[in-house]
Amino acid sequence: MREYIALIHKDRDSDFGVSFPDFPGCVTAGATLDEARDMAAEALAFHLEGLEADGEPIPEPSSLETVMADAENKDALAILVPAPAQAAKTIRVNITLPEDVLRDIDRYAEANGYTRSGFLALAAKKVMAA
């Protein structure tokens, strides 16, 4: 099973932020450490799903030594997040959206390190979980 390093950061008056050195732009947050860890697993799964759907290569996990050698990471808490054992089979769908909504989706997804597919899947799962 592959495990990727997630870095948890906490700034004063903010939630716990989570980032993945192997996946720039794959970020999430949680109000507590436990929630941040859970959100990290979800964010990683969605990010990997998006990469796979877009035909992008999945990198090998970096070593903890390499990640922590970066001075920017010295104040972070490093955790290992398991990648899903097998990515769910992706299915191409055709949907119709208003042009302005699609433009907003693409702008948000790009600014936050998501693919369009990855963002839409994440948004749908969050709405269904609420």
pLDDT tens-digit map of 81-95: 999 876 567 788 999
Q: Which CATH architecture has domain 3-129?
A: 2-Layer Sandwich (3.30)
Give residue-wise pLDDT tens across range 16-32. 999 999 999 999 999 99
Long-range Cβ contacts of 24-33 (<8 Å, 24+ apart): 24/113, 25/112, 25/113, 25/114, 26/113, 27/112, 27/113, 33/8, 33/77
Residue type, 29: A
End-to-end CA distance of the chain: 30
Share of residues in the chain with pLDDT > 90 (%): 63
Domain range list for the chain: 3-129
The residues facing 9 across adjacent strands are 17
pLDDT over 70 for what percent of the chain?
Answer: 97
A 10 A CB-CB count for 50 gives: 24
What are the beta bridge partners of residue 65?
none
